[in-house]
Amino acid sequence: MANLSNEFLAELTEIRHYIHQHPELSSEEYQTTAFIKEKLTGWGIDVIDTPLKTGVIAEIGNKSKGKTIALRADIDALPILEKTGLDFASENLGVMHACGHDFHQTSLLGAAKILKDNEEHLNGRIRLIFQPAEENHRGAREVVAAGYLNDIQAIIGYHNHPGLKPGEIGLKSGGIMAAVDHFKVDIIGRGTHAANPQLGVDVLVITSQIVVQLQSIVARNIAPQDSVVVSVTHIKGGNTWNVLPDTSFFEGTIRSFSNEDRRYAKARFAEIINHTAAAYGATAKITWLDGPPVTDNDSTLTPLVFENSKQFAKVFTPISSNAGEDFADYQQVTPGVFAFIGSNGDADAAGWHHSDFLVKDEGLATAVNYYVENSYLLLKYFNDGEKL
């Protein structure tokens, strides 16, 4: 296992607390980017000049000695007012590391230092991707578009999981996190005085009918053994008590774990909306904002990482999460392995994106080891062709 002294873990804890105090929103991670670069260059690690506005790409090792693999951590925060009461709580009012990306980037910094210290023993090259803008699902696509996945054999990453204890890792082949689709729907009818509804086309009744009928997609159109979620999360229509409005609006999300279910759920969604609107004499406009596909762990590499991680953690097969992750965009380009790493484990621990979200620093050692030990594993696998 990696040499994680108490002194180094204390240093990493200080780093995480500093990052937690200075969160930045997606694509605005300027101070975070500068901080990461300062740490890496201070350790003698090569930072690559990139066209990316924020985020950091760095490299350890030598491509002349073997293949290249990548390690990824995300660095952005959320527009949430922190309510943890921590003495290192966010100093950026209304912005918070409420998903643990401070934990992620700290562990990758720790792994980078250890890998750099052992660089002469690396039989290949390791690319470090400190990725911006995960929360708005843009960052991974920007990294891919810039070409930083073109020459790598595989990529590994993880997300902290507050439901797991420090020292635990959840890992499985196939879909570990869901595909994400965001929908926006406008219903166009005809407004009128509330006392004379027969003179209009009531978009509020139509919207209500649609929201109820959309629940039949999961209940009656998707196989019970499959996992799909359809959630309407925001509805808007009307401005006062005695006027039926011309239009209404709603939005929400569909989550799925297979391309077939994803396509079918979206097609059925459109049928229900368009036919219901038409039946009442209205029209509908559907806008899709496609998020990442399924986070689909490679079936060959994942079992290797699963077994290798047992030397430093309790590893088990987790329940897949209906949350989404743009790490999935990397897996469209190259084989990838994505894990859940325990960060809290208390029965009442707040979940991701909550104002009371907390991670425990003692989980950092497992996260650092995950990166370091599996870097060695994958370089050996790809360079030696050894069936581990």
* Residue finishing a domain among 290, 324, 357: 290
How far is 92 from 159, CA to CA, in rounded Å?
Answer: 23
Residue 386 has a pLDDT of 55
Residue 168 within a domain: yes
Contacts of 209 by beta carbon, 8 Å cutoff, 6+ apart: 276, 280
Asked if 306 and 210 sit in the same domain, the reply is: no
**Cβ contact 167:209 at 8 Å:** no
Residues 195 and 319 in one domain: no
Q: How confident is the model at residue 331 (pLDDT cuts 50, 70, 90)?
A: very high
pLDDT for position 28: 98
Does the pLDDT of residue 314 top 60, yes or no?
yes
For a pLDDT cut of 90, what percent of the chain falls above it?
Answer: 97
Same structural domain for residues 12 and 57? yes
Rounded Cα distance, 44 and 62, in Å: 14
Residue 363 resides in a domain? yes
Q: Output 3 or 132, whichever has higher pLDDT.
A: 132
Q: Pick the closest to residue 295 from 171, 182, 183, 378 (CA basis).
A: 171
Residues 107 and 214 placed together within one structural domain of the fold:
no
In the 8-state DSSP scheme, what is residue 140?
Answer: H
Residues 169 and 301 in one domain: yes
With beta carbons less than 8 A apart as the criterion, state whether 368 and 2 touch.
yes
pLDDT at 358 over 80: yes
pLDDT at 11 over 80: yes
Domain boundary, last residue among 272, 290, 308:
290
Asked if residue 118 and residue 87 are part of one domain, the reply reads yes
The model's pLDDT over 233-271, given as tens digits with 9 standing for 90+, comes to: 999 999 999 999 999 999 999 999 999 999 999 999 999
Note the pLDDT tens digit of each residue in 188-222: 999 999 999 999 999 999 999 999 999 999 999 99
Same domain as 127, residue 142: yes
Q: Find the CATH number of the domain harbouring 115.
A: 3.40.630.10
Domain count, the chain: 2
Q: Does residue 310 belong to any structural domain of this protein? A: yes
pTM: 0.94
Q: What mean pLDDT do residues 300-308 have? A: 98
Which domain, by its residues, includes 260? 179-290
Q: What is the CATH number of the domain that holds 201?
A: 3.30.70.360
The mean predicted confidence, pLDDT, of the chain is: 96
Give the containing element (helix H, strand E) for 130.
strand 125-131
187 and 52 in a common domain:
no
| Tens-digit pLDDT profile for residues 159-196 | 999 999 999 999 999 999 999 999 999 999 999 999 99
pLDDT at 388: 46
Residue 1 lies inside a defined structural domain of this protein: no
Give the Cβ contact number of residue 253 at 10 Å: 18
Residue 39 in contact with residue 108, Cβ under 8 Å?
Answer: no
Question: Do residue 135 and residue 228 come from a single domain?
Answer: no
